[in-house]
Structure 1
Amino acid sequence: MKTSLLIAAIFFSGLSMAQQKKTDSAKTKDIEAVVITKQVFKKQSDRFVYDVAASPVAKGNTTFDLLRQTPLLSTTDDKTLKIAGKNNALIYINGRKSNMDAESLAQFLKNTPAENIQKIEVITMPGSEFQVESSDGIINIVLKKKMSDGLNGNMRMSNSQNKYNASSASFSANYRKDKLGISANLYGGDNIQAQEYVLKNGTSLLKNESVGLVDDPNQYIGGYLNFDYQLNEKSNLALSWNTNATKSYGSSVNLLNTLRTFDNNGTLLETKFNKSDNLENARNYNNSVNLNYELKTDSLGSKLNLNAAYLNFRRFQNSDNRTLVPAVDGNFSQLRQQVLQDIPQVINNFSAMADYIQKFKKDLTISVGGNFNRTKTDNDTKNFFYFYDTAGNFDNLRPDLNHFIYDENIYGFYLTAEKKFSDKFSGKIGARYEITKSMGTSEIPEKPMQVFERDYNNLLPYLSFNYAINDKNNISYSFSSRMRRPSFWELNPVKNILTEDNYTQNNPFVKASTTYNQELTYMFKNSYFLILNHSLFKDVITQVPLQRNIERDGKTYRQLAYIRTNFGDKQEMSAMIGMQKTFFKKALTTNFNIGIQHNINDGMLSTDPTTGIVFDTYINKNKSSSLIIQTNNTLALDKKKTWFLGVNYFYVDKQQIELGMLKDLMSLDLSLKKNWNDWTFALNVTDVLRTNIVEIEDFQDNGNYNYVKNDQFRRGGTLSITYNFGNQKVKKVRDIEGASDAIKSRTR
């Protein structure tokens, strides 16, 4: 709360600047009158471009709100973004991949005003020059930059109410003086993320059920500082720093666990109860620095790009997990098991990248480059298991200590050639060659050191072409091959305890998976589009639910473990049609997507690769076809276009995933916005019908079943106030690609 109050003081101190804008008001209105006539949504050779500066949606929104209303983009969990309903989206800012973990990135996007954005680029099939994993697409957020000397910026405050109240505030500023440009952002806030779980698993003879609540309080502060200096007419130097700190103390998980035993006729024989109480404290620190040098080598646009980056991520986490059984008085006060966990993680990464783009007069562009990433992770995990007998007396202590250190070096090289053969036809071909050398060491007291080595080389080809049939019709095709390396936390062989008989297990033996992607796109009048996609995943990295019977105190219990591993192959095929258009003299802005996705899964697992424990065989060889619908609409309610109504809706049909059948999801969101001079007042209501609740169900031929229901209380409202100050004239910022692109997403 202190963070919010600090930024609130900055917010209101800026009110004295309100009069400054009057002298530039006429000029600004003239510029806006010209900008609004631009083509808002268009297809370029390898990407879709959404010109935010020409759209009425941006003002008063956050960057995350704007992204979820961008054509082809969607979110079902209010944290992560997907492209065309399925591909994960990596966030780039000014051509540089964000250096933040998933939680920090979500807070950054939700606290950066959309007024800071010039345009959004959606790259569904990134070329060889991009360092991406698997079938990931790219969302490149191009921020505004001042074109004249002076200062501008904005301030925003918001208050949200879901199950609990939350507040946030942000301050952004852009300054230019001659050759020097500076942009900065500061944000902070607090919230309590609430969830409700229903977990069921077992057989016809043994059935487990866990029901309870999760409350996760968070306080966060973060921001960025960017410097851009024009050395001369041909060269620029840029330095950027991103930082974020999150504190989550007193996070609690409280579950009531019920075990029911039946005979072969289905008659209930016995019911046993216990409670799982987990209290966790955690804090994260994320800091990254990127230095970029750009040199233009000729008048055609040829240039040299050099990058160096350093990333430091630290997470400190400890928890107290207690299993309580009823005492004589019936209250859950008798300890059965206590697990004290200390799970720190430190990641250090140094990255360097060099790119050279040579443009020739005959519409030919050759790009060549390379990158180097060196990463070291340190995970010194300490678990202490305290066991108690049926009378509640201390019985046994079993320490579980594991110091896991992981070193990884990645060398990457790429070459692409792009040729415009005519005014209608252009093509691009390229390849990326990657060399990965890694070693993990696991130190466990009184045991020999375990060493895990991974050395592999991969050639990843890329091909695309674009054909403009005429002024109204355009068709393009792309093929790419990619790898998906395991995230660093997935490799750390730590066990996370949820209940006495329910846990997750990470895996240092996970190997990289390979993905082959194809996409065919047709676009009509820069407003209507059709996208056909096929993806083949080999050695999918995922979490697999494994079950088995265990004996304890002469009784049989059902254990459920979520094992991180490579799990067979998978195919995804999709067809989507959509549009982005304005109606009624730009009073109504609509984007609409509807598509079908077909999933084919082929995986089988019975043994935990880390511990060697044998479970009942889990098989997923199922197929599913599902419908996906998304529409975002903004309606001007008055002639002056100062009042706006937003109606947004998505629906995702049930589909087969690795954990089972994910049931259908949908959400209806409404918003009301008022623009008044330099102020914007907005009210957003999310998940009005309270239908965005995750349910996964799986039935195995051997009689095992598993069910997960997760309610994150997404229905709620947010009231926000945004104030824009200073000269609002802007120009496109220089695109810079970060050096540590292959690393950052793997901290999530």
Structure 2
Amino acid sequence: MQKIKILGVIILFSLSLNITAQRPGGGQGRDMPTIGILSGTVYDEQGTPVEYATVSLFSMRDSKLVTGGITNSKGYFKIKEIKLGAYKVKIKFIGFNTKEIKGIYLFPKGKGKGQGTEQDLGKIKLEGSSVEIDDVNVVADKSHVQYKIDKKIVNVSQDVNSAGGSAVDILENTPSVNVDIDGNVELRGSSNFTVLIDGKPTVLEASEVLQQIPANVIENIEIITNPSAKFDADGAAGIINVIMKKKKQIGFNGVVNLSAGTRDKYKGNVLLNYKVGKFNFSGGLDYRNDMRYGSGMQDRITYYPDTSYYMSYNGDRNMHIYGYGFQGGIDYYINDNNTISISGRSGTREFSRNSKSYYYEWTNPSNIDDYYLRDNDLGYDGASYNLNLNYNLKFKKPDQKLDVLLYYSNWDGKRFDDQYKYITDENQIIIDDNPEKRKTDQLTPRDQYRYQFDFTSPIGTNGILEAGYHGRYDISTSDYLYSIFNESTDEWELDTDISNKADFTRNIQAIYGTYTSKILDFDYKLGFRTEYTDRLIYMYSTGNEFVVNRLDFFPSAYLTKELNEKQQLQLSYSRRLNRPRNRNLNPFPNYSDPLNVRVGNPNLEPEFVDSYEFNFQNRFKKSFISAEAFYRRKNNLITRVNLLGEDNVIYRTYSNLNHDNSLGLELTANLQFNKWWKLSGSSSGYYYSIIGEIDNEDISNESFNWNLRLNNTFSFKSNTRIQLTGFYTGPSVTAQGSREAFYFANVAVRQDFLKKKFSLTAQIRDIFNTMGHSFTSETDDFYTYSEFTREGQVLTLSLTYRINNYKEKRNKGRNGDDDMEGIDMNQ
């Protein structure tokens, strides 16, 4: 009977936990004591730990399988209670050649060939499997997406289509994630998720930071849909953790990336690293100047007792993204048990959306018949920086450690919206050169302080205890300035009735604990987190204060069963919340769109989600399939409410009104049809229902939502790789409307040169120019239909240069073979 310990969610600092499995018997003699212990650490050719590699122990006498184990997130395994005897080890993982180590003699030293009853095999390198055929030379890389029992890992180096793009471009081809044409990201149908960078928070909004991070500097992205109690409770849908490239081999290495796309799209970045003695130095810079073109239209009808009002517009909808940044860090390895690291980043970002839309307004019966052009330029710009101090202490007791994080981040910038309205005729020709001018400038400085103390310790034979204290303090200001241009004085005049200023502070203190162990043939992990929140909103214009003090509890639980070395089941539960954003709390109107005004609700409370998942994974030969059933219920739902005012303006506000349910199944697979063609894909289908009412009107609605994504990769003999991707998402519903289906496809070709020191990638995004979306919103008072499209068939060329990419550090392994540590800085 096989016993395997798989120790659960490991994200913020990749804590190393022992994972063991045992099988009684072994043919080493019935009278031999079961006191043997065997351990080791498994790496790939780039020095990256290989998680979930199977480690099998065979008897040297009859080659029968005796026991086994699986590596953890650090590639580490430890097999206990082995009968003393002579063994050989086989280590396997998808895409790698089987590693066999012979001549392991678990006997007390001094007795024959005895090497000790407890042995450490040290670092064990797995090599990618390579097969040559007439026209193809295939090297089995990491899968594009690796499916762990608690998370999905997107290996960016395998996503050719993301070259020259951002984190959002990677997520377009990621299971459980949807991306719209504006780059807004949803995790399992929800925009309420948390973004972490190397396990640390960010002061920016989730979609903003994902659009800013270049794909070339990302090692991988972790998708965690059911986090444990160790993580902050924020993010109802889960966590997207972006792991940046950090290469710490001895000596100097680095990578340079440049890309250019049709119609003014330019990006570049550099990453450098130098390790000498007890120090590691890293640094980098990035630049982006990117234009994205699109268009939009809207038809609206407003119903009054004796009149119907109509409004229609169409026009351009273009985006400009600009920014540059610098980063650096120092690691000091004091000794084997103490490490301290200091890192930081500074940069500027600008985002603007310019729309030139031609409007036509009329009524029936007719008393309004107006044509005009609205020229809007809205967005944000500013500078940010963050500083991190990490300290890691390893105690004398094996696997006992303390991690300390001190973090500070700052954003000093503003949001802007410049509006110009020109009178036109019915042929869209301007007939008045003096436009009506309005503008808003919203200063939005933000500061975040964070401190974390995380302790890990083994308990007994199989137990692991994690406990910690997390604190964070957020300070932000919204200084909203609304001005109208006075033609007679030729000056901008501040509208003090609309302008406003508010301070937001939030203090969150949390403690957590998790315990992992085994019972019978099951591994389990139980967790509990408590968070105290103190929130204050102060309105300068009225002197009003809105205070929230609350204590919330967040349990989590995981139960895992190894059916055999290839199949695994897990049942998990977690409770999380979604805190309202500052802009949803500000009660003063925001007139960025004069016909659609946003008004916050300072009494808005968090929404809570109870999330259940049941996962099954199966590996066979060089392929993999996974099935994830999930159910999510959100209570105290933050609901967007559209209300029609007497001034014919739609006022959008937010309330805790309803609850919704999502019940579905996600199927994923990595399939290798032959030696040169791999297909990865996923399909998710779920039933969604929203239950409740708005303004005494029942808005209960339901829909079946589904999506499909496919990623074909072809690898050829001449270091050439071709990748074809496609994505489709079906229609969905909202509280007061619906969204139509949309789809798109991309193609990319990458060619490596000069022993992979150089790579050139050519990519075409949205081959068939189909990416767009449409929405319908309808009540008894109004009907709105909107349609938006983005620029398609965009060609991008990307060049990558790797510095000392294959610099080798040779270490003699246990059996005298060379252990080569390389560096893979693809993308």
Report the TM-score, using the length of structure 1 for normalisation.
Answer: 0.81
Q: Aligned residue for 2:329?
A: 226
2:437 equivalent to 1:310: no
Q: 1:328 offset after TM fit, Å? A: 13
Q: 1:441 offset after TM fit, Å? A: 0.9
2:706 equivalent to 1:627: yes
Over alpha carbons, which structure has the higher Rg? 2
Q: 1:465 offset after TM fit, Å? A: 1.0
Letter in 1 for 2:774: E
**Consecutive unaligned residues in structure 1, runs of 5 or more:** 1-24, 551-557, 607-616, 734-748
2:781 equivalent to 1:684: no
Of 402, 409, 423, which residue of structure 2 is paired with 1:325?
423
Q: Aligned residue for 2:516?
A: 418
**CA 1:568–1:72 in 2, change beyond 3 Å: closer, same or farther?**
closer
Q: Aligned residue for 1:534?
A: 631
1:126 match: secondary structure: coil
Letter in 2 for 1:569: H
1:112 match: secondary structure: helix
Q: 1:87 offset after TM fit, Å? A: 7.1
**Consecutive unaligned residues in structure 2, runs of 5 or more:** 1-44, 49-95, 98-124, 130-138, 809-819
1:629–1:652 CA contact under 8 A, matched in 2? yes
Letter in 2 for 1:312: N
1:42–1:49 CA contact under 8 A, matched in 2? yes
Of 252, 256, 261, which residue of structure 2 is paired with 1:155?
256
2:711–2:726 CA contact under 8 A, matched in 1? yes
**Distance in 2 (alpha carbons) for counterparts of 1:501 and 1:63:** 33
**CA 1:77–1:176 in 2, change beyond 3 Å: closer, same or farther?**
farther
Q: Aligned residue for 2:604?
A: 510
2:305 equivalent to 1:210: no
Letter in 2 for 1:531: E
**Distance in 1 (alpha carbons) for counterparts of 2:637 and 2:625:** 34
1:490 match: secondary structure: helix
Letter in 2 for 1:130: F
2:789 equivalent to 1:711: yes
Of 667, 672, 676, which residue of structure 2 is paired with 1:577?
667
2:149–2:615 CA contact under 8 A, matched in 1? no
1:105 match: secondary structure: helix
2:524 equivalent to 1:427: yes
1:510 match: secondary structure: coil
Letter in 1 for 2:660: K
**CA 1:479–1:214 in 2, change beyond 3 Å: closer, same or farther?**
same
Q: 1:502 offset after TM fit, Å? A: 2.8
**Distance in 2 (alpha carbons) for counterparts of 1:663 and 1:435:** 41
CA offset digits 1:304-358 (Å, max 9, x no partner): 1111111111222344323343599984427685433221111111111111111
Q: 1:662 offset after TM fit, Å? A: 0.8
Letter in 2 for 1:375: D
Matches within 5 A, 1:121-270: 121-143=222-244, 145-146=246-247, 148-161=249-262, 164-203=263-302, 205-248=308-351, 252-263=354-365, 270=368
Q: Aligned residue for 2:90?
A: none
Q: 1:92 offset after TM fit, Å? A: 3.4
Of 551, 555, 559, which residue of structure 2 is paired with 1:461?
555
Q: 1:673 offset after TM fit, Å? A: 1.3
**Distance in 2 (alpha carbons) for counterparts of 1:468 and 1:84:** 27
CA offset digits 1:128-154 (Å, max 9, x no partner): 001142433334444554454211111
**CA 1:206–1:229 in 2, change beyond 3 Å: closer, same or farther?**
same
Q: Aligned residue for 1:596?
A: 685
Q: 1:396 offset after TM fit, Å? A: 12
2:399 match: secondary structure: coil
Letter in 2 for 1:561: Y
- RMSD of aligned C-alpha atoms? 3.5
Of 777, 780, 800, which residue of structure 2 is paired with 1:698?
777
**Distance in 2 (alpha carbons) for counterparts of 1:395 and 1:94:** 46
Letter in 1 for 2:522: F
Q: 1:428 offset after TM fit, Å? A: 0.8
Letter in 2 for 1:474: Q
**CA 1:103–1:513 in 2, change beyond 3 Å: closer, same or farther?**
closer
**CA 1:78–1:715 in 2, change beyond 3 Å: closer, same or farther?**
farther
2:458 equivalent to 1:379: no
2:432 match: secondary structure: strand
Is 100-109 or 587-596 further displaced after alignment?
Answer: 100-109
1:602–1:620 CA contact under 8 A, matched in 2? yes
Q: 1:690 offset after TM fit, Å? A: 1.9
Q: Aligned residue for 2:564?
A: 470
Letter in 1 for 2:474: T
Of 639, 645, 651, which residue of structure 1 is paired with 2:728?
651
2:335 match: secondary structure: coil
**Distance in 2 (alpha carbons) for counterparts of 1:71 and 1:122:** 9
Q: 1:280 offset after TM fit, Å? A: 4.7
Is 32-41 or 663-672 further displaced after alignment?
Answer: 32-41
Q: Aligned residue for 2:39?
A: none
**Distance in 2 (alpha carbons) for counterparts of 1:91 and 1:322:** 36
**Distance in 2 (alpha carbons) for counterparts of 1:123 and 1:216:** 30
1:525 match: secondary structure: strand
1:100–1:286 CA contact under 8 A, matched in 2? no
Structure (1/2) with the larger helix percentage = 1
Q: 1:501 offset after TM fit, Å? A: 2.7
1:159–1:719 CA contact under 8 A, matched in 2? yes
**Distance in 2 (alpha carbons) for counterparts of 1:328 and 1:259:** 11
Report the TM-score, using the length of structure 2 for normalisation.
Answer: 0.74
Letter in 2 for 1:214: R
Q: 1:103 offset after TM fit, Å? A: 6.1
2:603 match: secondary structure: coil
Letter in 1 for 2:394: K
**CA 1:300–1:59 in 2, change beyond 3 Å: closer, same or farther?**
farther
1:312–1:347 CA contact under 8 A, matched in 2? yes
Is 484-493 or 455-464 further displaced after alignment?
Answer: 484-493
1:85–1:628 CA contact under 8 A, matched in 2? no
Is 134-143 or 509-518 further displaced after alignment?
Answer: 134-143
Q: 1:731 offset after TM fit, Å? A: 7.2
Letter in 1 for 2:615: T
1:135–1:535 CA contact under 8 A, matched in 2? no
**Distance in 2 (alpha carbons) for counterparts of 1:121 and 1:39:** 15
**Distance in 2 (alpha carbons) for counterparts of 1:252 and 1:67:** 25
**CA 1:383–1:471 in 2, change beyond 3 Å: closer, same or farther?**
same
Letter in 2 for 1:720: S
**Distance in 2 (alpha carbons) for counterparts of 1:322 and 1:187:** 34
1:469 match: secondary structure: strand
**CA 1:151–1:568 in 2, change beyond 3 Å: closer, same or farther?**
same
Q: 1:244 offset after TM fit, Å? A: 2.6
Number of residues of Structure 1 aligned to a counterpart in Structure 2: 670
1:231 match: secondary structure: strand
**Distance in 2 (alpha carbons) for counterparts of 1:396 and 1:474:** 64
**CA 1:209–1:577 in 2, change beyond 3 Å: closer, same or farther?**
same
Q: Aligned residue for 2:113?
A: none
Is 138-147 or 254-263 further displaced after alignment?
Answer: 138-147
**Distance in 1 (alpha carbons) for counterparts of 2:477 and 2:550:** 22
**Distance in 2 (alpha carbons) for counterparts of 1:56 and 1:320:** 38
**Distance in 2 (alpha carbons) for counterparts of 1:62 and 1:327:** 42
**Distance in 1 (alpha carbons) for counterparts of 2:302 and 2:515:** 57
Q: 1:219 offset after TM fit, Å? A: 2.3
Letter in 2 for 1:333: D
1:227 match: secondary structure: strand
Q: Aligned residue for 2:385?
A: 287
Is 663-672 or 73-82 further displaced after alignment?
Answer: 73-82
Letter in 1 for 2:558: S
**CA 1:639–1:199 in 2, change beyond 3 Å: closer, same or farther?**
same
Q: Aligned residue for 1:605?
A: 694
Letter in 1 for 2:626: F
**Distance in 2 (alpha carbons) for counterparts of 1:724 and 1:171:** 10
Q: Aligned residue for 1:17?
A: none
Of 150, 154, 174, which residue of structure 2 is paired with 1:46?
150
**CA 1:270–1:578 in 2, change beyond 3 Å: closer, same or farther?**
same
